[in-house]
Chains A and B, each alone.
Chain A
């Protein structure tokens, strides 16, 4: 019996029990937000620049950057903030952690299962909203952009999800606030610092991959410090390492930490 099989069962259990109004509403909002925003932007563009608005490569690139920022960065982060970060804290608050902790494979499988659940919820929002946004713009958007955005969204979910799970296991009392602070300071602040330090951030890697896969050489040469010049395999390796490291530390932490069970006596 592998931990992975158990994690999949945990994921199925979590998915079944999470079909609540609150969660569905949050899921819907995370899809509708980029779609509504992008549709408005699209209308503005067409009004200002006419039907050939996206004919220019520069405009098309700006469109891609906007979509990238809106979905793999903002929406994926918001989704993971809600579904990955409080993985442990909700069980502690709900006084159910003790039930999971006393199972032979409870802690690891539950953490991995909840990680997978957060990926499913978040990636599904990204997938749907990217597809709708591309449909909104119409044939001007190439399949290439859509597929790159899907891939970037998947990578964003995998790496940011692992990071937020780690934050959730380390700071289980204030997990969401800590994750927001981390994101603002590191992923939105440090990732733009033109120095070696930004290479350790997930957003730098995702931006680099976006530029690399879309072939935005002009932008890469102009904003070298922000988009990087590393080849795609290096970005992928870095993201994989970040995800594995974060998950590894989270699993160790969850195995060894004496989380409060909120019982008396």
Chain B
């Protein structure tokens, strides 16, 4: 009886570049998630907040040529944006304040509506990305092809990067370019040319650690509800921890203001260290790093711990997913 060699053999066929292989995984994932009616609605809603900073930049630029508006515009910085110093500068030297005004509007857009939209959208998509493959054993289909775990992880992450890019980076860049178009002339470009690069930098800071963390949660369970719960619990618990540990001792010691005052509150002047517990909260850690990227870091503390935590979270999450996949394949 002849013996046939049926063991593993190397792939002899032509393979695409390693950089392009994750695209195959990403393309399938993107087309699948875009079929969801919920997600398409989410996309639409996620773009709505861009209207507010656009109006803000337009009003600011208009106020330079129409000084009657200056006081109203400066009130935006004194009140909602809590920057009385910038409000004063807008009144005294609006052209000199331009760069900071623009970045502040864009940072605010990144920091509040888009971060919230990001948390919700990742909560919608990411928990299923790996856990569903593990539950249905679809990962075997991927790895029966010449695809490495790293390429698989990058491909899956790229699904989220694409979607988040569409709701964070693209509207951020669109906001900048609309800002240029709403300005009196193109002289604003030499003053603000670095902002698109800062938007890209802030996008990387926002997207990479959050995506890898969400994918890591997804890889730890075949029941996506645990991954979804872990994702939201991370944000909620982190936020609550930061708020309680930072502000409660001051409130109990009667150092915090009893009622909200008009304008910003200088917490640090009141003896509250805003950076002390920051690393407990993903929201506040990301906020520090993003503000630093935009050159608007409001607190005294160094950005290095925040950046280190984000890098450690990214690397550890990536390693965890890879390890889970390899363990599954070996089982």
Contacts and interface: CB of A to CB of B under 8 A. Distances in A.
A and B from one assembly?
A: yes
Interface of A: 22, 26, 29, 33, 37, 40-41, 44-45, 48-49, 53, 58-59, 62-63, 66, 69-70, 74, 78, 81-82, 85-86, 89-90, 93, 173-174, 176-177, 180-181, 184
Interface string B112-135: 000010001001100000000000
Contacts of A176: 123, 225, 228-229, 232
B240 A62 contact: no
Contacts of B228: 176-177
A78 B230 CA distance: 10
B225 A173 contact: no
Interface in B225-248: 225-226, 228-229, 232-233, 236-237, 240-241, 244-245, 248
A62 B245 contact: no
A177 B124 contact: yes
A97 to B, nearest CB: 15
A61 B161 CA distance: 45
Given A78-B229, A176-B229, A66 B248 contact: yes
Interface stretch (B52-60, B147-155, B249-257): B249-257
Given A40-B245, A90-B223, A81 B229 contact: yes
Nearest to A62: B252
B225 A58 contact: no
A84 B242 CA distance: 27
Nearest to A171: B38
A45 B294 CA distance: 36
B244 A70 contact: yes
Interface string B214-228: 000000010111101
A78 to B, nearest CB: 6
A5 B275 CA distance: 54
Ranked 6 nearest A-B pairs via Cβ: A82-B229, A86-B225, A62-B252, A176-B228, A59-B252, A44-B249
Q: How large is the interface on B (under 10, 10 to 19, 20 to 34, 35 or more residues)?
A: 20 to 34
Contacts of A90: 223, 225
Interface string B91-106: 0000000000000000
Contacts of A58: 252, 254
A3 to B, nearest CB: 26
Contact of B252 (A63, A74, A78): A63
Contacts of A82: 225-226, 229
A74 B236 contact: yes
Contact of B253 (A49, A63, A89, A184): A49
A102 B162 CA distance: 42
A37 B240 contact: yes
B223 to A, nearest CB: 7
19 contacts: A26-B229, A37-B240, A41-B244, A41-B249, A48-B253, A58-B252, A62-B251, A62-B252, A66-B248, A69-B240, A78-B233, A85-B225, A89-B225, A93-B223, A174-B38, A176-B228, A177-B228, A180-B123, A181-B120
Contacts of B252: 45, 49, 53, 58-59, 62-63
A33 B237 contact: yes
A260 to B, nearest CB: 15
Given A41-B244, A70-B240, A176-B229, A22 B223 contact: yes
Contact of A41 (B116, B123, B124, B248): B248
Given A176-B225, A181-B120, 10 more contacts: A22-B221, A26-B226, A49-B253, A53-B252, A59-B252, A62-B248, A69-B240, A70-B240, A70-B244, A177-B123
Contacts of B124: 174, 177
B116 to A, nearest CB: 8
A49 B250 CA distance: 11
Nearest to B229: A82
A164 B199 CA distance: 38
A184 B232 CA distance: 12
Contacts of A174: 38, 124
A140 B226 CA distance: 38
B224 A48 contact: no
Given A22-B221, A37-B240, A173-B38, A180 B226 contact: no
Nearest to A184: B116
A33 to B, nearest CB: 6
Contact of A37 (B226, B241, B251): B241
B177 to A, nearest CB: 31
Contacts of B254: 58
Contacts of A63: 252
B293 to A, nearest CB: 26
A45 B223 CA distance: 41
A37 B38 contact: no
Interface string B18-48: 0000000000000000000010000000000
A82 B237 CA distance: 14
B123 A93 contact: no
